[in-house]
Structure 1
Amino acid sequence: MTTAVRKKKRKRLLIFLIVLAMLAVAAFFALWQRLTVSRFELSFADLPDAFDGFRIVQITDLHCERFGEGQRELCDKIASLEPDILVITGDMLDQDLLDPEPTRELCAAFAGKIPMYAVTGNHDLWVARSEFRKLLDIYEEYGVTLLRGGAAEITRGGETIYLHGEDDPAHWGSDTVGYLTENPISVTPVENAFNILLYHRANAFPALSSLGFDLVIAGHMHGGQVRLPFVGGLVSPTREYFPDYTAGLYTENGTQMIVGRGLGNAVSVPRVFNPPELVLITLNRS
Protein backbone atom coordinates (compact mmCIF):
# COMPACT_ATOMS: atom_id res chain seq x y z
CA MET A 1 0.00 0.00 0.00
CA THR A 2 1.48 3.32 -1.05
CA THR A 3 1.77 6.37 1.20
CA ALA A 4 -0.78 8.24 -0.92
CA VAL A 5 -3.35 5.43 -0.49
CA ARG A 6 -2.78 5.37 3.29
CA LYS A 7 -3.30 9.15 3.51
CA LYS A 8 -6.49 8.88 1.48
CA LYS A 9 -7.88 6.16 3.78
CA ARG A 10 -6.94 8.15 6.89
CA LYS A 11 -8.69 11.22 5.46
CA ARG A 12 -11.85 9.22 4.76
CA LEU A 13 -11.74 7.74 8.28
CA LEU A 14 -11.30 11.22 9.78
CA ILE A 15 -14.26 12.56 7.80
CA PHE A 16 -16.36 9.58 8.87
CA LEU A 17 -15.49 10.12 12.53
CA ILE A 18 -16.26 13.85 12.32
CA VAL A 19 -19.63 13.16 10.71
CA LEU A 20 -20.36 10.47 13.31
CA ALA A 21 -19.49 12.89 16.12
CA MET A 22 -21.71 15.59 14.61
CA LEU A 23 -24.61 13.14 14.36
CA ALA A 24 -24.08 12.07 17.97
CA VAL A 25 -24.15 15.70 19.13
CA ALA A 26 -27.28 16.40 17.04
CA ALA A 27 -29.00 13.31 18.47
CA PHE A 28 -28.08 14.37 22.01
CA PHE A 29 -29.68 17.78 21.60
CA ALA A 30 -32.64 16.39 19.68
CA LEU A 31 -33.50 13.98 22.48
CA TRP A 32 -32.37 16.23 25.35
CA GLN A 33 -35.05 15.94 28.03
CA ARG A 34 -33.89 18.46 30.60
CA LEU A 35 -36.69 20.56 32.04
CA THR A 36 -37.01 23.97 30.35
CA VAL A 37 -38.98 27.16 31.01
CA SER A 38 -40.66 29.31 28.36
CA ARG A 39 -41.47 32.87 29.43
CA PHE A 40 -44.16 35.14 27.99
CA GLU A 41 -44.86 38.78 28.81
CA LEU A 42 -48.43 39.59 27.76
CA SER A 43 -50.03 43.03 27.70
CA PHE A 44 -53.73 43.81 28.12
CA ALA A 45 -55.52 47.15 28.15
CA ASP A 46 -58.30 45.88 30.44
CA LEU A 47 -56.09 44.18 33.04
CA PRO A 48 -56.77 45.70 36.49
CA ASP A 49 -53.88 47.76 37.85
CA ALA A 50 -53.51 45.45 40.85
CA PHE A 51 -52.65 42.53 38.52
CA ASP A 52 -49.88 44.30 36.64
CA GLY A 53 -46.95 41.87 36.89
CA PHE A 54 -49.16 38.92 37.94
CA ARG A 55 -47.27 35.65 37.38
CA ILE A 56 -48.90 32.40 36.24
CA VAL A 57 -47.06 29.10 35.88
CA GLN A 58 -48.71 26.56 33.59
CA ILE A 59 -48.31 22.82 34.15
CA THR A 60 -49.70 20.62 31.41
CA ASP A 61 -49.60 17.08 30.04
CA LEU A 62 -47.59 15.50 32.84
CA HIS A 63 -48.70 11.99 31.82
CA CYS A 64 -47.45 10.56 35.14
CA GLU A 65 -43.88 11.71 34.45
CA ARG A 66 -41.45 12.20 37.33
CA PHE A 67 -38.69 14.78 37.60
CA GLY A 68 -36.50 13.65 40.44
CA GLU A 69 -37.45 11.88 43.64
CA GLY A 70 -40.73 13.26 44.94
CA GLN A 71 -40.87 15.61 41.91
CA ARG A 72 -38.10 17.66 43.54
CA GLU A 73 -36.58 18.95 40.28
CA LEU A 74 -39.99 20.02 38.98
CA CYS A 75 -41.08 21.60 42.25
CA ASP A 76 -37.80 23.45 42.74
CA LYS A 77 -38.06 24.88 39.24
CA ILE A 78 -41.64 26.01 39.79
CA ALA A 79 -40.77 27.62 43.14
CA SER A 80 -37.88 29.51 41.55
CA LEU A 81 -40.32 31.19 39.15
CA GLU A 82 -42.22 32.75 42.09
CA PRO A 83 -45.71 32.32 40.62
CA ASP A 84 -48.82 33.95 42.05
CA ILE A 85 -50.90 30.97 40.90
CA LEU A 86 -50.37 27.56 39.27
CA VAL A 87 -52.69 26.42 36.49
CA ILE A 88 -52.94 22.78 35.39
CA THR A 89 -54.35 22.34 31.90
CA GLY A 90 -55.02 18.61 31.85
CA ASP A 91 -53.59 15.16 31.17
CA MET A 92 -51.88 14.75 34.50
CA LEU A 93 -52.89 11.09 34.25
CA ASP A 94 -52.15 8.65 31.43
CA GLN A 95 -54.51 5.93 30.28
CA ASP A 96 -51.65 3.43 30.05
CA LEU A 97 -49.47 4.27 33.07
CA LEU A 98 -52.25 4.80 35.66
CA ASP A 99 -49.98 6.33 38.29
CA PRO A 100 -51.46 9.29 40.19
CA GLU A 101 -48.50 9.63 42.58
CA PRO A 102 -46.47 12.09 40.45
CA THR A 103 -49.47 14.42 40.53
CA ARG A 104 -49.89 13.90 44.26
CA GLU A 105 -46.25 14.77 44.91
CA LEU A 106 -46.53 17.92 42.84
CA CYS A 107 -49.74 19.16 44.44
CA ALA A 108 -48.55 18.32 47.94
CA ALA A 109 -45.47 20.49 47.49
CA PHE A 110 -47.52 23.65 46.92
CA ALA A 111 -50.62 23.00 49.02
CA GLY A 112 -51.33 26.03 51.19
CA LYS A 113 -48.48 27.97 49.58
CA ILE A 114 -49.60 28.83 46.04
CA PRO A 115 -53.23 28.74 44.79
CA MET A 116 -53.71 25.95 42.24
CA TYR A 117 -56.39 25.63 39.57
CA ALA A 118 -56.98 22.78 37.12
CA VAL A 119 -59.06 21.47 34.24
CA THR A 120 -59.27 17.94 32.86
CA GLY A 121 -57.62 16.55 29.75
CA ASN A 122 -58.64 13.67 27.54
CA HIS A 123 -56.39 11.14 29.32
CA ASP A 124 -57.77 12.19 32.70
CA LEU A 125 -61.26 11.34 31.46
CA TRP A 126 -60.28 8.22 29.51
CA VAL A 127 -59.08 6.29 32.55
CA ALA A 128 -61.44 4.10 34.57
CA ARG A 129 -63.77 5.93 36.91
CA SER A 130 -61.88 4.61 39.93
CA GLU A 131 -58.60 6.04 38.57
CA PHE A 132 -60.20 9.40 37.84
CA ARG A 133 -61.57 9.38 41.38
CA LYS A 134 -57.98 9.20 42.64
CA LEU A 135 -57.15 12.39 40.75
CA LEU A 136 -60.23 14.13 42.16
CA ASP A 137 -59.24 13.05 45.67
CA ILE A 138 -55.72 14.44 45.20
CA TYR A 139 -57.09 17.78 44.04
CA GLU A 140 -59.49 17.91 46.96
CA GLU A 141 -56.86 16.88 49.52
CA TYR A 142 -54.35 19.51 48.44
CA GLY A 143 -56.73 22.36 47.72
CA VAL A 144 -56.60 22.38 43.91
CA THR A 145 -59.66 24.14 42.48
CA LEU A 146 -60.94 21.94 39.63
CA LEU A 147 -62.92 24.03 37.15
CA ARG A 148 -65.48 21.86 35.36
CA GLY A 149 -67.67 24.48 33.74
CA GLY A 150 -67.19 27.12 36.40
CA ALA A 151 -65.14 30.17 37.30
CA ALA A 152 -62.97 31.29 40.18
CA GLU A 153 -62.60 34.88 41.31
CA ILE A 154 -59.03 35.96 42.00
CA THR A 155 -58.82 39.14 44.05
CA ARG A 156 -55.77 41.29 44.56
CA GLY A 157 -55.53 44.84 45.87
CA GLY A 158 -59.30 45.16 45.90
CA GLU A 159 -59.62 44.23 42.21
CA THR A 160 -60.76 40.97 40.60
CA ILE A 161 -60.07 38.84 37.56
CA TYR A 162 -61.94 35.68 36.58
CA LEU A 163 -60.43 32.28 35.84
CA HIS A 164 -62.74 29.95 33.93
CA GLY A 165 -62.34 26.27 33.09
CA GLU A 166 -64.14 23.56 31.16
CA ASP A 167 -63.82 19.77 30.93
CA ASP A 168 -62.19 18.24 27.89
CA PRO A 169 -64.92 17.44 25.34
CA ALA A 170 -66.27 13.94 24.76
CA HIS A 171 -65.40 14.22 21.06
CA TRP A 172 -62.17 12.66 19.74
CA GLY A 173 -60.95 13.26 16.20
CA SER A 174 -59.57 15.91 13.92
CA ASP A 175 -62.64 18.16 13.84
CA THR A 176 -62.56 19.50 17.39
CA VAL A 177 -63.48 22.98 16.13
CA GLY A 178 -66.54 21.67 14.31
CA TYR A 179 -67.66 19.76 17.38
CA LEU A 180 -67.30 22.78 19.64
CA THR A 181 -69.09 24.99 17.12
CA GLU A 182 -72.12 22.73 17.42
CA ASN A 183 -71.57 22.01 21.14
CA PRO A 184 -70.16 25.21 22.66
CA ILE A 185 -68.39 25.24 25.99
CA SER A 186 -70.61 26.12 28.94
CA VAL A 187 -68.55 28.97 30.40
CA THR A 188 -68.75 32.59 29.25
CA PRO A 189 -66.69 35.63 30.18
CA VAL A 190 -67.86 38.04 32.87
CA GLU A 191 -68.80 41.36 31.29
CA ASN A 192 -66.55 44.36 31.86
CA ALA A 193 -63.91 42.21 33.53
CA PHE A 194 -60.63 40.46 32.73
CA ASN A 195 -61.25 36.79 31.88
CA ILE A 196 -58.88 33.83 31.50
CA LEU A 197 -59.99 30.44 30.16
CA LEU A 198 -58.22 27.18 31.00
CA TYR A 199 -58.90 24.57 28.33
CA HIS A 200 -56.95 21.44 27.50
CA ARG A 201 -57.08 21.38 23.71
CA ALA A 202 -55.18 24.17 22.01
CA ASN A 203 -56.46 23.07 18.60
CA ALA A 204 -59.92 24.26 19.68
CA PHE A 205 -58.76 27.89 19.54
CA PRO A 206 -60.76 28.90 16.44
CA ALA A 207 -63.93 27.93 18.34
CA LEU A 208 -62.78 29.68 21.54
CA SER A 209 -61.26 32.90 20.27
CA SER A 210 -64.59 34.50 19.38
CA LEU A 211 -66.10 34.03 22.86
CA GLY A 212 -64.56 37.15 24.39
CA PHE A 213 -61.91 35.77 26.74
CA ASP A 214 -58.81 37.89 27.12
CA LEU A 215 -56.48 34.90 27.48
CA VAL A 216 -56.72 31.16 26.85
CA ILE A 217 -54.15 28.81 28.40
CA ALA A 218 -54.02 25.36 26.79
CA GLY A 219 -51.90 22.27 26.16
CA HIS A 220 -52.66 18.87 24.57
CA MET A 221 -50.53 19.28 21.44
CA HIS A 222 -47.21 18.12 22.98
CA GLY A 223 -45.41 20.69 20.87
CA GLY A 224 -46.13 18.58 17.79
CA GLN A 225 -44.08 15.73 19.36
CA VAL A 226 -41.18 16.27 16.93
CA ARG A 227 -40.22 19.92 16.50
CA LEU A 228 -38.49 20.63 13.23
CA PRO A 229 -36.13 23.63 13.27
CA PHE A 230 -37.66 26.66 11.49
CA VAL A 231 -40.84 24.65 10.82
CA GLY A 232 -42.48 23.75 14.13
CA GLY A 233 -44.43 20.72 15.30
CA LEU A 234 -44.68 17.65 13.11
CA VAL A 235 -47.79 15.79 14.26
CA SER A 236 -50.82 16.31 16.51
CA PRO A 237 -52.26 13.78 19.00
CA THR A 238 -54.92 12.97 16.38
CA ARG A 239 -52.25 12.38 13.70
CA GLU A 240 -52.59 15.56 11.62
CA TYR A 241 -49.24 16.55 10.17
CA PHE A 242 -47.83 20.06 10.64
CA PRO A 243 -50.73 21.10 12.89
CA ASP A 244 -51.44 24.63 14.03
CA TYR A 245 -51.29 25.75 17.69
CA THR A 246 -48.50 23.46 18.88
CA ALA A 247 -46.52 25.80 21.14
CA GLY A 248 -46.18 29.41 22.19
CA LEU A 249 -48.35 32.50 21.67
CA TYR A 250 -51.26 32.89 19.25
CA THR A 251 -53.71 35.76 18.78
CA GLU A 252 -57.10 35.60 17.06
CA ASN A 253 -60.17 37.82 17.34
CA GLY A 254 -58.57 39.88 20.08
CA THR A 255 -57.92 36.82 22.28
CA GLN A 256 -54.40 35.67 23.12
CA MET A 257 -53.60 32.00 23.70
CA ILE A 258 -50.55 30.41 25.31
CA VAL A 259 -49.90 26.75 24.44
CA GLY A 260 -47.60 24.72 26.67
CA ARG A 261 -45.63 21.89 25.07
CA GLY A 262 -46.12 19.78 28.17
CA LEU A 263 -43.97 17.73 30.49
CA GLY A 264 -44.61 14.08 29.66
CA ASN A 265 -45.14 11.77 26.72
CA ALA A 266 -48.20 9.75 25.79
CA VAL A 267 -46.85 7.88 22.76
CA SER A 268 -43.94 5.57 21.91
CA VAL A 269 -42.30 8.18 19.66
CA PRO A 270 -39.80 10.23 21.70
CA ARG A 271 -39.99 14.00 21.99
CA VAL A 272 -37.47 15.31 19.47
CA PHE A 273 -36.08 18.88 19.75
CA ASN A 274 -38.92 19.17 22.24
CA PRO A 275 -37.76 19.02 25.87
CA PRO A 276 -40.31 19.05 28.71
CA GLU A 277 -41.55 22.55 29.44
CA LEU A 278 -42.96 24.74 32.15
CA VAL A 279 -44.55 28.02 31.06
CA LEU A 280 -44.32 31.31 32.95
CA ILE A 281 -46.86 33.92 31.91
CA THR A 282 -46.54 37.46 33.23
CA LEU A 283 -49.59 39.71 32.83
CA ASN A 284 -48.94 43.39 32.20
CA ARG A 285 -51.32 46.31 31.94
CA SER A 286 -50.71 48.15 28.70
Structure 2
Amino acid sequence: MAGIYIYDIINILWIHHSRNGRIKVKLLKIISIIVTLIVFVYIYNYDQISKFRVRDIRIDSKKVRNNLKITQISDFHSNDLIDLEKMEDKIKKFDPDIIVLTGDIIDSNDIELDAVIKLFETLSRLDKNIYFVQGNHEARQELYKDLKDEMKRLEIIILEDNSATITVNNEKINITGLKFHSKSREYNEVIYYQEAIKDLNLDYYNVLLRHSPNNVENILSGKEDLILSGHTHGGQIRLPLIGAVVAPGQGFFPEYDKGIFRTNDTILYIDSGLGNSAAPIRAFNPVQISNIIIEPEK
Protein backbone atom coordinates (compact mmCIF):
# COMPACT_ATOMS: atom_id res chain seq x y z
CA MET A 1 0.00 0.00 0.00
CA ALA A 2 2.82 2.41 0.86
CA GLY A 3 4.31 1.84 -2.59
CA ILE A 4 0.96 2.73 -4.25
CA TYR A 5 0.72 5.96 -2.26
CA ILE A 6 4.29 6.94 -3.19
CA TYR A 7 3.51 6.20 -6.86
CA ASP A 8 0.35 8.35 -6.70
CA ILE A 9 2.23 11.26 -5.13
CA ILE A 10 4.98 11.07 -7.77
CA ASN A 11 2.35 10.87 -10.54
CA ILE A 12 0.51 13.94 -9.21
CA LEU A 13 3.74 15.91 -8.96
CA TRP A 14 4.73 14.80 -12.44
CA ILE A 15 1.43 15.93 -13.97
CA HIS A 16 1.26 19.15 -11.94
CA HIS A 17 4.75 20.17 -12.91
CA SER A 18 4.85 18.68 -16.38
CA ARG A 19 5.55 22.15 -17.79
CA ASN A 20 8.53 22.58 -15.54
CA GLY A 21 11.38 20.35 -16.67
CA ARG A 22 13.55 21.32 -13.75
CA ILE A 23 11.08 19.85 -11.25
CA LYS A 24 11.10 16.57 -13.13
CA VAL A 25 14.89 16.44 -13.09
CA LYS A 26 14.97 17.16 -9.34
CA LEU A 27 12.37 14.49 -8.72
CA LEU A 28 14.36 11.93 -10.68
CA LYS A 29 17.48 12.84 -8.70
CA ILE A 30 15.65 12.36 -5.40
CA ILE A 31 14.34 8.98 -6.53
CA SER A 32 17.82 7.99 -7.69
CA ILE A 33 19.34 8.95 -4.32
CA ILE A 34 16.69 6.99 -2.39
CA VAL A 35 17.16 3.88 -4.55
CA THR A 36 20.96 4.14 -4.21
CA LEU A 37 20.71 4.39 -0.42
CA ILE A 38 18.39 1.38 -0.26
CA VAL A 39 20.77 -0.70 -2.38
CA PHE A 40 23.77 0.42 -0.29
CA VAL A 41 22.06 -0.43 3.00
CA TYR A 42 21.01 -3.84 1.65
CA ILE A 43 24.52 -4.71 0.44
CA TYR A 44 26.13 -3.44 3.67
CA ASN A 45 23.71 -5.37 5.88
CA TYR A 46 24.10 -8.55 3.83
CA ASP A 47 27.86 -8.33 4.34
CA GLN A 48 27.39 -7.83 8.09
CA ILE A 49 25.08 -10.84 8.56
CA SER A 50 26.74 -13.32 6.17
CA LYS A 51 30.51 -12.66 5.80
CA PHE A 52 31.92 -13.84 9.09
CA ARG A 53 35.13 -12.42 10.52
CA VAL A 54 37.63 -14.19 12.75
CA ARG A 55 38.46 -12.34 15.96
CA ASP A 56 41.86 -13.19 17.43
CA ILE A 57 42.09 -12.97 21.22
CA ARG A 58 45.22 -13.42 23.34
CA ILE A 59 45.05 -13.88 27.11
CA ASP A 60 47.94 -14.53 29.47
CA SER A 61 47.82 -16.53 32.68
CA LYS A 62 50.29 -17.49 35.38
CA LYS A 63 48.45 -20.84 35.70
CA VAL A 64 49.53 -22.26 32.33
CA ARG A 65 52.99 -23.27 31.14
CA ASN A 66 52.01 -23.96 27.53
CA ASN A 67 49.62 -22.33 25.10
CA LEU A 68 45.96 -23.35 25.11
CA LYS A 69 44.00 -22.63 21.92
CA ILE A 70 40.20 -22.42 21.87
CA THR A 71 37.82 -21.66 19.01
CA GLN A 72 34.53 -20.21 20.26
CA ILE A 73 31.34 -20.29 18.19
CA SER A 74 28.21 -18.69 19.61
CA ASP A 75 24.67 -17.69 18.61
CA PHE A 76 24.63 -19.36 15.21
CA HIS A 77 20.82 -19.18 15.12
CA SER A 78 20.77 -21.58 12.15
CA ASN A 79 22.33 -18.92 9.91
CA ASP A 80 22.42 -20.67 6.52
CA LEU A 81 24.22 -17.68 4.95
CA ILE A 82 27.50 -18.67 6.61
CA ASP A 83 30.16 -20.22 4.36
CA LEU A 84 30.90 -23.34 6.38
CA GLU A 85 33.72 -24.50 4.11
CA LYS A 86 35.52 -21.22 4.66
CA MET A 87 34.93 -21.53 8.40
CA GLU A 88 36.34 -25.05 8.40
CA ASP A 89 39.45 -23.79 6.61
CA LYS A 90 39.94 -20.89 9.05
CA ILE A 91 39.61 -23.13 12.09
CA LYS A 92 41.86 -25.80 10.59
CA LYS A 93 44.62 -23.22 10.08
CA PHE A 94 44.26 -22.02 13.68
CA ASP A 95 44.38 -25.66 14.86
CA PRO A 96 42.62 -25.22 18.22
CA ASP A 97 42.98 -27.67 21.07
CA ILE A 98 39.22 -27.55 21.67
CA ILE A 99 36.11 -25.97 20.15
CA VAL A 100 33.35 -24.55 22.35
CA LEU A 101 29.77 -23.78 21.36
CA THR A 102 28.31 -21.25 23.79
CA GLY A 103 24.59 -21.55 23.09
CA ASP A 104 21.79 -20.46 20.76
CA ILE A 105 23.17 -22.63 17.98
CA ILE A 106 19.56 -23.20 16.96
CA ASP A 107 16.79 -20.60 16.87
CA SER A 108 13.57 -20.91 18.81
CA ASN A 109 11.62 -20.50 15.54
CA ASP A 110 13.35 -23.40 13.76
CA ILE A 111 11.15 -26.16 12.42
CA GLU A 112 14.06 -28.33 11.25
CA LEU A 113 17.75 -28.79 12.06
CA ASP A 114 19.37 -28.87 8.62
CA ALA A 115 21.56 -25.77 9.04
CA VAL A 116 22.73 -26.81 12.52
CA ILE A 117 23.51 -30.38 11.48
CA LYS A 118 25.64 -29.04 8.63
CA LEU A 119 27.53 -26.89 11.14
CA PHE A 120 28.05 -29.84 13.49
CA GLU A 121 29.23 -32.12 10.69
CA THR A 122 31.63 -29.43 9.46
CA LEU A 123 33.15 -29.03 12.93
CA SER A 124 33.32 -32.80 13.48
CA ARG A 125 35.54 -33.17 10.43
CA LEU A 126 38.19 -31.15 12.27
CA ASP A 127 38.63 -34.04 14.72
CA LYS A 128 38.69 -31.84 17.84
CA ASN A 129 36.91 -32.18 21.15
CA ILE A 130 33.80 -30.00 20.94
CA TYR A 131 31.96 -28.75 24.04
CA PHE A 132 28.42 -27.38 23.97
CA VAL A 133 26.33 -25.41 26.46
CA GLN A 134 22.66 -24.57 26.14
CA GLY A 135 21.37 -21.08 25.36
CA ASN A 136 17.96 -19.55 25.89
CA HIS A 137 16.80 -20.55 22.40
CA GLU A 138 17.65 -24.22 23.00
CA ALA A 139 15.94 -24.04 26.40
CA ARG A 140 12.58 -23.24 24.80
CA GLN A 141 12.97 -25.19 21.55
CA GLU A 142 10.92 -28.38 21.08
CA LEU A 143 13.65 -29.72 18.79
CA TYR A 144 16.28 -29.58 21.53
CA LYS A 145 16.02 -33.32 22.27
CA ASP A 146 16.62 -34.04 18.57
CA LEU A 147 19.53 -31.61 18.62
CA LYS A 148 21.08 -33.44 21.58
CA ASP A 149 20.68 -36.74 19.74
CA GLU A 150 22.60 -35.29 16.78
CA MET A 151 25.35 -34.03 19.08
CA LYS A 152 25.66 -37.43 20.72
CA ARG A 153 25.86 -39.06 17.29
CA LEU A 154 28.75 -36.76 16.39
CA GLU A 155 30.39 -37.11 19.83
CA ILE A 156 29.94 -33.45 20.77
CA ILE A 157 30.23 -33.17 24.54
CA ILE A 158 27.17 -31.58 26.18
CA LEU A 159 27.80 -29.75 29.44
CA GLU A 160 24.62 -29.12 31.42
CA ASP A 161 25.57 -28.01 34.92
CA ASN A 162 28.57 -30.33 34.95
CA SER A 163 32.31 -30.28 34.35
CA ALA A 164 35.15 -32.08 32.60
CA THR A 165 38.87 -32.09 33.31
CA ILE A 166 41.02 -32.49 30.22
CA THR A 167 44.73 -32.59 29.45
CA VAL A 168 45.98 -30.23 26.75
CA ASN A 169 49.70 -29.84 26.00
CA ASN A 170 50.53 -31.45 29.34
CA GLU A 171 48.20 -28.98 31.12
CA LYS A 172 45.19 -29.94 33.21
CA ILE A 173 42.19 -27.76 32.30
CA ASN A 174 38.77 -27.69 33.97
CA ILE A 175 35.82 -26.92 31.72
CA THR A 176 32.45 -26.29 33.36
CA GLY A 177 29.24 -25.68 31.43
CA LEU A 178 26.03 -24.20 32.79
CA LYS A 179 22.78 -24.63 30.92
CA PHE A 180 20.55 -21.60 30.53
CA HIS A 181 18.63 -20.65 33.66
CA SER A 182 15.85 -18.09 33.34
CA LYS A 183 16.02 -15.01 35.53
CA SER A 184 13.41 -16.42 37.88
CA ARG A 185 15.64 -19.45 38.52
CA GLU A 186 19.03 -17.74 38.66
CA TYR A 187 19.14 -18.14 42.44
CA ASN A 188 19.33 -21.93 41.88
CA GLU A 189 22.23 -21.51 39.48
CA VAL A 190 24.65 -20.91 42.35
CA ILE A 191 23.71 -24.33 43.75
CA TYR A 192 24.05 -26.04 40.36
CA TYR A 193 27.40 -24.38 39.76
CA GLN A 194 28.84 -25.27 43.15
CA GLU A 195 27.72 -28.86 42.64
CA ALA A 196 29.37 -28.91 39.20
CA ILE A 197 32.77 -27.80 40.48
CA LYS A 198 32.86 -29.45 43.93
CA ASP A 199 35.14 -32.34 42.85
CA LEU A 200 37.50 -30.26 40.69
CA ASN A 201 41.05 -29.30 41.49
CA LEU A 202 40.54 -25.55 41.19
CA ASP A 203 44.27 -24.94 41.07
CA TYR A 204 44.07 -25.98 37.41
CA TYR A 205 43.14 -23.40 34.76
CA ASN A 206 39.35 -23.02 34.98
CA VAL A 207 37.12 -22.26 32.00
CA LEU A 208 33.41 -21.58 32.53
CA LEU A 209 31.00 -21.77 29.59
CA ARG A 210 27.82 -19.81 30.26
CA HIS A 211 25.62 -18.57 27.44
CA SER A 212 24.54 -15.29 29.01
CA PRO A 213 26.95 -12.86 30.69
CA ASN A 214 24.06 -11.23 32.56
CA ASN A 215 24.50 -11.32 36.35
CA VAL A 216 27.42 -13.75 36.02
CA GLU A 217 29.10 -12.04 38.98
CA ASN A 218 26.38 -13.47 41.24
CA ILE A 219 27.53 -17.08 40.85
CA LEU A 220 31.32 -16.82 40.78
CA SER A 221 33.47 -18.80 43.18
CA GLY A 222 36.54 -16.60 42.68
CA LYS A 223 38.47 -19.43 41.03
CA GLU A 224 37.33 -18.79 37.46
CA ASP A 225 40.13 -17.84 35.08
CA LEU A 226 38.12 -17.48 31.87
CA ILE A 227 34.37 -17.20 31.26
CA LEU A 228 33.17 -17.58 27.67
CA SER A 229 29.71 -16.22 26.83
CA GLY A 230 27.56 -15.03 23.95
CA HIS A 231 23.87 -14.06 23.99
CA THR A 232 24.27 -10.31 23.38
CA HIS A 233 25.09 -10.49 19.65
CA GLY A 234 27.26 -7.47 20.45
CA GLY A 235 24.00 -5.54 20.38
CA GLN A 236 23.58 -6.40 16.66
CA ILE A 237 23.50 -2.66 15.95
CA ARG A 238 26.47 -0.72 17.31
CA LEU A 239 27.38 2.95 17.10
CA PRO A 240 30.96 4.18 16.63
CA LEU A 241 32.56 5.33 19.90
CA ILE A 242 29.43 4.25 21.83
CA GLY A 243 29.04 0.50 21.33
CA ALA A 244 25.91 -1.60 21.53
CA VAL A 245 22.57 0.18 21.41
CA VAL A 246 20.66 -2.55 23.25
CA ALA A 247 21.23 -6.09 24.52
CA PRO A 248 18.81 -8.71 25.89
CA GLY A 249 18.39 -8.50 29.64
CA GLN A 250 20.52 -5.36 29.90
CA GLY A 251 18.46 -2.78 28.04
CA PHE A 252 19.92 0.25 26.30
CA PHE A 253 23.67 0.85 26.14
CA PRO A 254 24.60 -2.35 28.02
CA GLU A 255 27.73 -2.74 30.09
CA TYR A 256 28.48 -6.25 28.85
CA ASP A 257 28.13 -6.22 25.07
CA LYS A 258 31.14 -7.85 23.39
CA GLY A 259 34.85 -8.34 23.96
CA ILE A 260 36.96 -8.70 27.10
CA PHE A 261 35.95 -7.66 30.62
CA ARG A 262 38.21 -8.15 33.65
CA THR A 263 37.28 -8.60 37.30
CA ASN A 264 40.29 -9.22 39.52
CA ASP A 265 41.88 -12.40 38.12
CA THR A 266 38.80 -13.46 36.12
CA ILE A 267 38.37 -12.64 32.44
CA LEU A 268 34.92 -12.59 30.84
CA TYR A 269 34.95 -12.79 27.05
CA ILE A 270 31.72 -12.23 25.09
CA ASP A 271 31.58 -13.36 21.47
CA SER A 272 29.08 -11.43 19.37
CA GLY A 273 27.99 -14.49 17.43
CA LEU A 274 27.37 -15.88 13.97
CA GLY A 275 23.65 -15.17 13.67
CA ASN A 276 20.78 -12.92 14.59
CA SER A 277 17.48 -13.14 16.38
CA ALA A 278 14.38 -10.95 16.01
CA ALA A 279 15.63 -9.43 12.72
CA PRO A 280 18.56 -10.14 10.36
CA ILE A 281 20.09 -6.71 10.87
CA ARG A 282 23.59 -5.69 11.96
CA ALA A 283 25.59 -2.49 11.84
CA PHE A 284 29.27 -1.94 12.69
CA ASN A 285 29.14 -5.47 14.08
CA PRO A 286 29.70 -8.28 11.56
CA VAL A 287 29.07 -11.91 12.47
CA GLN A 288 32.17 -13.65 13.81
CA ILE A 289 33.91 -16.56 15.43
CA SER A 290 36.72 -16.19 17.97
CA ASN A 291 40.13 -17.85 18.05
CA ILE A 292 41.49 -17.55 21.58
CA ILE A 293 45.04 -18.22 22.73
CA ILE A 294 45.78 -18.52 26.45
CA GLU A 295 49.52 -18.20 26.94
CA PRO A 296 51.91 -18.23 29.90
CA GLU A 297 52.25 -14.92 31.69
CA LYS A 298 55.59 -13.31 30.91
What TM-score, normalized by structure 2, do the two folds share?
0.79
- 1:90-239 alignment, distance < 5 Å: 90-111=103-124, 113-128=127-142, 131-171=143-183, 179=187, 185=193, 186-188=195-197, 190-238=201-249
CA deviations over 1:203-226 (Å, ceiling 9, x no partner): 233224553210000000110121
C-alpha displacement of 1:100 = 1.9
- 1:6-85 alignment, distance < 5 Å: 28-29=43-44, 32-33=47-48, 34-47=51-64, 49=65, 52-67=66-81, 71-85=84-98
How many residues of Structure 1 are paired with residues of Structure 2 in the alignment? 270
Calculate percent identity across the aligned residue pairs: 27
Indicate the larger mover: 89-98 or 213-222.
Answer: 89-98
Q: In the superposition, relative to structure 1, how do residues 279 and 92 fare at CA in structure 2: closer, same or farther (>3 Å)?
A: same
CA deviations over 1:80-109 (Å, ceiling 9, x no partner): 322111000001111112332222112222
Gaps of 5+ in 1: 1-9
Partners of 1:236 and 1:210 in 2: CA distance: 26
Q: Is the 8 A contact 2:45 2:281 kept in 1?
A: no
C-alpha displacement of 1:55 = 1.1
- 3-state DSSP class of the match of 1:201? coil
Which structure has the bigger radius of gyration? 2
Task: Provide the alpha-carbon RMSD of the alignment.
Answer: 3.1
Partners of 1:38 and 1:82 in 2: CA distance: 15
What TM-score, normalized by structure 1, do the two folds share?
0.82
- 3-state DSSP class of the match of 2:70? strand
Q: In the superposition, relative to structure 1, how do residues 20 and 215 fare at CA in structure 2: closer, same or farther (>3 Å)?
A: same
